[in-house]
Amino acid sequence: MIMKNGNSLPREIAPGIFWLGDCLEQQHKGMTYHSYNAAFLLTGNESSILIETGHPKDFPEIERQMVEILSHDQPPLKHLFITHQETPHSGGLGRVLQNWPNITVHGDVADYHLAFPNHKSQLKNMEVGDKIDIGGRQLIAVEPVIRDLRTSLWAFDTGANTLFPGDGFAYSHYHWDGHCGRVAEEAESLDLKDVLAVFAERALYWTTTTDMNIYVDKLEELMDELKVEIVAPTHGLPVTDLAATMPKVREGLISEGNVNT
């Protein structure tokens, strides 16, 4: 069940999906924003999978949260899925391999063997449509509509119809309004247009110079096709009510693009 009043992580945002991480402060135009480099623990009937590793600064906390969850009769951690190679997403990979030496690593793994040659046999490249079965649910690789890197790959959980879009829903939140650890619909004062702009300018600058209607239309088509019910972004608050929040996301993403391009 989704916790309604918790302000701290870890937090179960859907059955078998645990949101992990810690806040990162960032300055923008004289304001202090918070953001997440989140990871998610997905538990099945037979095994568990970690989605993202978080930023290196956060990994000790993410690991603590994950170990705590797994100690409560959860299936063992056997898999890791990473959306792409950027540090906030894959920066903890070495420590995951160290602490779970038999784990398999999934996604676009084209260059990980250069850093971890001793684990080459555990690197499992995925293409759109490939699946990881953890018992009772599958994690499916899906098209990354909004990419950070060429190698970006998104994932979809069939157990709770949850989309893991990496940087696709990247935005910050207001620490002073108590948004930390809350889902988007609980952060009532959150100005999605404003906080999406912060990330667009700092991390996805290409979105400010293109017609984002094209990408948002494609994103909504993908979500309809998959019947997405929850969105679990790496750099934002999870979205649990699409009808209430997606129109705001669309407005925020489109507002920063050059629609005349």
Q: What is the pLDDT of residue 23?
A: 75
Q: Are 220 and 170 in contact (CB under 8 A)?
A: no
Place of tokens 């088509």: 221
Bridge partner list, 253: none
Q: What is the pLDDT of residue 4?
A: 36
**Cα 91 to Cα 57: distance, rounded to the nearest angstrom:** 9
259, two tokens: 């629609």
Of 169, 132, 131, 164, the closest CA to residue 18 belongs to 164
Average pLDDT of 202-219? 77
Q: Are 131 and 140 in contact (CB under 8 A)?
A: yes
Q: What is the pLDDT of residue 6?
A: 39
Give the CA angle between residues 152, 138, 234 to the nearest 5°. Answer: 40
Share of the chain above pLDDT 90, in %: 53
Bridge partner list, 107: 125
Q: What is the pLDDT of residue 260?
A: 41
pLDDT beyond 60 at 5: no
pLDDT beyond 90 at 257: no
Q: Are 51 and 81 in contact (CB under 8 A)?
A: yes
Q: How confident is the model at residue 172 (pLDDT cuts 50, 70, 90)?
A: low
Name the more confident of 69 and 195: 69
Beta pairing class for 77-81 and 104-107: parallel
**Cα 69 to Cα 71: distance, rounded to the nearest angstrom:** 5
The structural domains of the chain, ordered by start, are 11-255 (3.60.15.10)
Each residue's pLDDT tens digit, 111-128: 999 999 999 999 999 999
Range list of H helices, the chain: 59-70, 87-90, 93-99, 112-115, 192-202, 212-226, 242-255
154-157 sheet: strands from edge to edge: 131-133, 138-142, 154-157, 162-164, 230-231
Q: What is the pLDDT of residue 245?
A: 86
Which pTM was predicted? 0.87
143, two tokens: 């098209």
Q: How confident is the model at residue 202 (pLDDT cuts 50, 70, 90)?
A: low
Positive/negative CA dihedral, 208, 209, 211, 214: negative
Q: How many CA atoms lie within 13 A of 139 on its CB side?
A: 28
Average pLDDT of 20-29? 73
